[in-house]
Amino acid sequence: MQFAIVNKERTVASPGQAGNCPACGGAMIAKCGTQRIHHWAHRGVRRCDSWWEAETAWHRAWKSRFPVEWREVVQYDQYGEKHIADVRTGHGLTIEFQHCHLKPEERAARENFYGNMVWVVDGARLTRDLPRFAEGASWFIRTARKGLYIVPFPDEVFPKNWLGCRVPVIIDFCNANGLSEETKCLTWPLWCLLPGRVRGHAAVLQLSREVFVSWAHAGARPIPAQAILQDVGRYLLEQKQLAEREALRATMLARQYHGWPRQGLRRRYARF
């Protein structure tokens, strides 16, 4: 953890220091070696939050974009269960930065516990994730809304573990390797997979780190997923109706030029 309580103050780790855990009150010692980022660890093998994962420089860089008082906030539910949110904004939004693999049950449990939350996932964990995303991105359908794309086959584009989330999942590929120069641009922005599907299609928002952080500062629900999904539904319906009109027009033209038998035509029209 980045903070422990020393003399009643949240304090970052420095060599030789001792403190107490803000969640369980247990003794903590500062770990200030050269291999890992400086952090606090419980004395002995104790770990008070089973959901807590060892922090990396990636976690720390993300958390540093938010005010100190929003980081590592202990949250309780109505039954007294407690967990430490990576970031809990002043508007009540939890942001969890996830590098390690998560079992689907734990992922769902965290979403239930925190309620209003957003995942930010390290897209560099598995080497195949970015190449698969890059391949799938060629099928993205651009929409009138800046940065919003429709994904026809989400199962083939996003990591399996993150497909069934009930909250937005932001994938950060900034540390990933293995792309050609032409597709490197995919690693610069964040890609936010929205929860919910419309006729099997997903919606993904491309946004910068700065935009995401400013949205999180601005309000409790930074990403209007439901409204966006409704727009996507309307767009897909319009496209379907357009395709049907085009097909009908083509049939009419064919009749005009080739004089198809009336019976056959009636069968064709019956579809519309």
Binding status of residue 29 toward Zn ion by CB under 5 A: no
User: Which residues ranging from 82 to 111 are in contact with Zn ion (CB under 5 A)?
Assistant: none
> How far apart are CB 200 and Zn ion at their closest, in Å?
44
Looking at beta carbons only, is 21 or 171 nearer to Zn ion?
21
24 in contact with Zn ion (CB under 5 A):
yes
In angstroms, give the least distance from the CB of 74 to Zn ion.
9
Q: Which stretch binds Zn ion (CB under 5 A): 14-22, 71-79, 165-173, 250-258?
A: 14-22
Q: Which residues contact 237 (CB under 8 A, 6 or more apart)?
A: none
Q: Least distance from C-beta 24 to Zn ion, angstroms?
A: 3
Q: Does 21 bind Zn ion (CB under 5 A)?
A: yes
Among 1, 4, 13, 23, binds Zn ion (CB under 5 A): 23
Residue spans of beta strands (DSSP E) within 77-127: 82-88, 94-98, 117-122
- CA gap 245, 234 in Å, rounded: 16
- How many residues belong to the site for Zn ion (CB under 5 A)? 5
* CA 74 remoteness from chain centre: 22
DSSP state letters, 139-168: TPEE-SSTTEEEES-GGGTS-GGGTT-SS-
Q: Shortest Cβ distance from residue 135 to Zn ion (Å)?
A: 43
Q: Cα separations (Å) of 146 from 9, 52, 82, 228?
A: 44, 36, 39, 12
Cβ-contact 40, 29 below 8 angstroms: yes
> For residues 30-69, which are near Zn ion according to CB under 5 A?
48
For residues 23 and 30, which CB has a smaller minimum distance to Zn ion in the complex? 23
Residue 205 binds Zn ion (CB under 5 A): no
| DSSP reduced 3-state for 127 | coil
Name the residues that contact Zn ion, by CB under 5 A.
Answer: 21, 23-24, 26, 48
